[in-house]
Structure 1
Amino acid sequence: MALVVHILACLLGTGSWVAINGMWVELPLIVPRVPEGWYLPSYLTVLIQFANVGPLFVTLMHHFQPGRLSEPGTIYTIVSLGALACVLLAFFWQATSVVGGTTRSTALLILLFFLSLVDCTSSVTFLPFMLRFRARYLTTYFVGEGLSGLVPGLVALAQGVGVVRCVNGSLAGNASGTGLRAEYQPARFSVSLFFLFLGGMMGLCLAAFVLLNHLPAARQERAKERFQAQARVEAGAGLQAVVEERPMISPSESRRLSSCFGTGTYSWPQVAYIFLVLAWVNALTNGVLPAVQSYSCLPYGSSAYHLSATLAAMANPLACFFARALPPRCLLLLGLLTAAGSGFGCYILAMAALSPCPPLLHSHAGATLIVLCWVLFVGSLSYVKLMIGMILRDEGHSALVWCGAVVQLGSMLGALIMFPLVSVYSLFRSGDPCTTRCPS
C-alpha cells in the first residue's frame, strides 16, 4: 500500500508545474498562429511574474492569520481551476478580440494568467501539505515535480514540436535557391489535443490529492504525532510545547531554541544561508538559464537543442531517485553542489552570449559538451533543491511555506533580470539550426 501512496505523491508533484511547462514546449506550434507572434514568450514571462500574487497572498495569510486559510481547500481550488483552464484553452486558444485598436489573443492570455496563478501557488501549498506524510514521500513528490517538465516534453516530441528538416533553398521556396533553409515539420496532432492532455494531467493531480486525503492506506502513512505537535506549536503553543514534550530541557537549550529557526537545529546565519542558496538555485533553473537555452544550443544544431531539453528534463527526477546516495543534510555538500551547478550554468550562459559563433561550433565535441553541461546543471541543482526541501521539512510547516515563497521569489528575480536582456536589449543572437556562418 505504501507503493500506492508513492504513486499518488508523484502524481501530485507532477501536477504542480505541468501546465506551464507544457505551454513552454508547445510555443513553437502556437506562436505562428497568434497575433502576438514571438512576443508571446515575453508575455508569458510577465504573466508568470504577475501570478506571484497567489503565493504572496497565501504566505501573508499564513503569517498574519495562521489557520484561517484551509490548505486542502486551497489545493482543491487551484487544481480544479488549472484543469478547467486547460480544457478551455483547447477550445478558445485561437480566439481573438480587438484591444486598443490591436488584435490580441485575449482568451489565451487570460487563461495563461490563471494557469500561472495555479502553478505559482502550488509552490506554497503542495509542499506544506506533504508535511503530513512521512519523510520518504517528500522525495517522491520532488520526483513528480521533475516529471512535470519531462512528461509534456516527451509528449511534445511525439507530437513533432520543433522538428526541423534542412532543405535546399529552392525546395523551401527561397527565390535565390542557395544554401540550406530550416523547414519545420507539421505536428502529428493538434494544439487543442495537447491542451486536453494537460487538462487530463491536472485531473490526475486532483484525483491523487483526493485519494491522499481520503484513502485509508494514505491516512496510515501520515506522520500523525509529528504533524499534530507542529500544529499545536503554530497555533500558539510555541516554545512551551517543545518544553512540555521535552521536560528535561535545560535553560540554556531553551534560550537556544527561542533564538533559532523552527526546531532550533540551525542558527539564523545557517537558515539565511539555506534560503539564499534556495533563491539562487531557483533563479538559475527557473529564470536565467531557460531564457537562453535556445541561444546556447541551436548553434550546435537542432539535435543538440532537443537532446539538451529532453535529457536535462530527465536529470531532474533522476537526481531525486539518487537522493539516498549522499548525506541529505550536509550544508558543506549543499554549497559544493551549488557551486558545481553554478559553474555549469556559467558555461551555458557564456555559450549563449557567444551565439551564433560559440567555440567548437562545427564539432561533435561542442555539441556533446553543451548537452552534458545542461544535464549536469539541472541534475546537480535539482538535488540541491531536494536537499533543502528535506532540511526545511524537519523545521515544520512554516518553513515549507517560506520555502515555496523563496522558490517563487528567486524564480521571479531571475526572470525579471533576463527579460530586458533578452527581449528589450537583444544581447543574445540566435543561431540557425541548419547553417551558421562565422568569421574564420
Structure 2
Amino acid sequence: MSLFTHVLACLLGMGSWVSINGLFVELPLIVTQIPEGWYLPSYLSILIQLANLGPLFVTLMHRFRPGVLNETAVIYVIISLGTVASFLLAFFWKETLLVAGVPRSIALLILTFFLSTVDCTSSVTFLPFMMRLKPQYLATYFVGEGISGLLPALVALIQGVGLVQCNNSTKMMNDSGLVSISYELQAYYQPANFSAEVFFFFLSAMMLVCLGAFVLLNYHPAVAQERTNSRYPNVVVKKDDVTQRNQTEQRPMIKHSDIMAKSSFGTGTYSWIQVLYIFFILAWVNGLTNSVLPSVQSYSCLPYGIIAYHLSATMAAVSNPLACLIAMFFPIRSLVLLGVLAVIGTGVAVYIMGMAVLSPCPLLVNNSAGTVLIVGAWVMFILTLSYVKVLIGVILRDEGHSALVWCGAVVQLGSLIGAVTMFPLVSFYNFFISGNPCSTDCA
C-alpha cells in the first residue's frame, strides 16, 4: 500500500469535522466577547441540526436520482465553502447587529451554519468517495476524522483556552445589621497566548490542506494505482445486468426464500435484521459520542477540578484516532463483538451521565480516585465506541457505495436525536448543575 495515499486519506478525514470541533474548543475565549455569552453553545447545537438539510438532500438524491449528483463536485464545493467560512470568521466573529433592539452576533451564527453544513454533509460524501480506494484506506480516513477533534484541541491547549486561575474573593453579607465577611475561591479565565483570529486562520489552513489532499486523491498518478477500479470509479451497473448476473450465479441448491432474506444493497451478505442491527448500533453510538455525552462533559468533570476536565477532554481526543489505528490493524468484523463493545461503552456512558446528574457533588468528589475514574471513563468511552464506529464503516464499505451513503445518513440521524434529546434538558430544564472548578466543597 502507498504511504502517500494513506497520508492523503488521513488529511481528507481530518477536514471532515475540524471546523466545528475547533469552534467548540474555542468557546471559552469567544463567549466572553459576544452578547450571547454562554448561551452560544445552545445556539450552535440548533444550527448544527438545521445543517442536516445538507446530508438529507444528498441522501435523497442518491435514493431517488442515483447517478445524477456529482459526488466529486459536491466535495469540492463543501471543502471550499468550509475554507472560506473559516477564513471569514477571523474577521467577523465579533461583529454584531441590532435585532429587535438587541445586539446579536449574526455574522458568527451565519458562518457557523455554513461550517455545520460542510461538516454534516461530509458524512454522506467523504465516506462514499473512499469506495474508490482499496478497503485498507478507510481505516486511515477514520484516523484523520479522529485527528479532526484532536488537532484543534491540542492547538487550543497551546493557546491556553479555558485555563482557569483560582483567586481568593471576599464576600460581605449584611444580616440584621451584622456584617460578616467570607472568603471563597473564584475562577478567572487566563488571557490566551494568541487570539481567536489566529486560531480561525489555523482552521482555514487545515481546510485548505484538506482541499489539496482531495485534489491529489483525484489526480495524482500514485493514487490511481490504489483505486479499486481506476478506469471506472463512478460506474453504475444497470439493473438488467445485475439480474442477469444473479441468474447466472444461482445454483439449484439455493432456495428462493434464502435469497429474499438478504438485504438488497451491496453483496447481500447480511439479512435485513442484521442490517437494522448494524444501523441501530451506529445511530446509538454516534448519538452518545457526538451529542449526548459531549453536552454534559463539563458537568461530569469540573466538580473534580479543572485538571480533571482538561485531562478528560485531551485524553478523549487522543483516544479517537488511537481506536482508529487499532481498528486498522485488528479489523474484527464480528456482529457479536459490535454488540458487546456497544454495551460496554454504553455502561461507561451511564457512569459518566450519573456523575453529571450528581454534579456538583458526584461520587468521590474530594478523592483522587474520583478524578482517575472520571478521566478513565472518558478514555474508555471514546476508545470503545470509536472502535465500533470504524468497524461498522469497514463492514459497510464491503457492501458498496450505497451502504456508505446510508452510513453517513445514520450517523447524522443518531447525532440529531441525541442533540434534540439533550438540548431541553441542559438549556431549559436546568437538569444539570455546573460544578465550580475552584471549589469542591460538598459539605
Q: Which one-letter code corresponds to 1:437 in the other structure?
A: D
Could you report, residue by residue, the CA deviation over 1:127-166 in whole angstroms, capped at 9, with x for unpaired residues? Answer: 0000100011000000000000000000000000000111
Q: Which one-letter code corresponds to 1:249 in the other structure?
A: Q
Q: CA deviation at 1:436?
A: 2.5
Given that 1:256 and 1:264 are in contact with CA atoms closer than 8 Å, whether structure 2 keeps it comes out as no
Q: Which one-letter code corresponds to 2:26 in the other structure?
A: E
Q: Which one-letter code corresponds to 1:107 in the other structure?
A: A
Identity level (%): 62
Name 2:141's counterpart in structure 1: 141
Q: CA deviation at 1:329?
A: 1.1
Given that 1:328 and 1:390 are in contact with CA atoms closer than 8 Å, whether structure 2 keeps it comes out as no
Q: CA deviation at 1:50?
A: 0.2
Q: CA RMSD in A?
A: 1.9
Name 2:436's counterpart in structure 1: 432
Name 1:290's counterpart in structure 2: 294
Query: Secondary structure of 2:15's partner?
Result: helix
Given that 1:257 and 1:263 are in contact with CA atoms closer than 8 Å, whether structure 2 keeps it comes out as no
1:205 aligns with 2:205: no
Quick one: structure 1 residues 96 and 258, their matched pair in 2 at CA, closer, same or farther if it must change by over 3 Å? same
Q: CA deviation at 1:253?
A: 6.4
Name 1:359's counterpart in structure 2: 363
Match of 1:398 among 402, 406, 419: 402
1:104 aligns with 2:104: yes
1:250 aligns with 2:254: no
1:388 aligns with 2:392: yes
Name 1:80's counterpart in structure 2: 80
Could you report, residue by residue, the CA deviation over 1:280-339 in whole angstroms, capped at 9, with x for unpaired residues? Answer: 000000010000000000000000000000000100100111115545210000000000
Q: CA deviation at 1:182?
A: 1.2
**1:192-231 equivalence runs, <5 A:** 192-224=197-229, 231=235
Quick one: structure 1 residues 320 and 303, their matched pair in 2 at CA, closer, same or farther if it must change by over 3 Å? same
Q: Which one-letter code corresponds to 1:260 in the other structure?
A: K
Match of 2:269 among 259, 265, 286: 265
1:184 aligns with 2:185: no
1:375 aligns with 2:376: no
Q: Which one-letter code corresponds to 2:60 in the other structure?
A: L
5+ residue gaps, structure 1, are none
5+ residue gaps, structure 2, are 172-179
Match of 1:344 among 333, 348, 357: 348
Query: Secondary structure of 1:131's partner?
Result: helix
Could you report, residue by residue, the CA deviation over 1:109-143 in whole angstroms, capped at 9, with x for unpaired residues? Answer: 00000000000000000000001000110000000
Bigger share in helix = 1
Given that 2:303 and 2:360 are in contact with CA atoms closer than 8 Å, whether structure 1 keeps it comes out as yes
Given that 2:150 and 2:317 are in contact with CA atoms closer than 8 Å, whether structure 1 keeps it comes out as yes
Q: CA deviation at 1:255?
A: 6.2
Q: CA deviation at 1:408?
A: 0.1
Query: Secondary structure of 2:165's partner?
Result: strand
Inter-partner Cα distance in structure 2 for 1:299 and 1:276: 33
Q: CA deviation at 1:36?
A: 0.6
**1:19-34 equivalence runs, <5 A:** 19-34=19-34
Further displaced range: 372-381 or 319-328: 319-328
Match of 1:411 among 390, 398, 415: 415
Inter-partner Cα distance in structure 1 for 2:101 and 2:353: 39
Could you report, residue by residue, the CA deviation over 1:201-237 in whole angstroms, capped at 9, with x for unpaired residues? Answer: 0000000000000000011100017976x8333x434
Further displaced range: 218-227 or 65-74: 218-227
TM-score, normalisation: structure 2: 0.94
Inter-partner Cα distance in structure 2 for 1:250 and 1:378: 45
Inter-partner Cα distance in structure 2 for 1:288 and 1:429: 16
Name 2:167's counterpart in structure 1: 167
Inter-partner Cα distance in structure 1 for 2:335 and 2:14: 28
Query: Secondary structure of 1:169's partner?
Result: strand
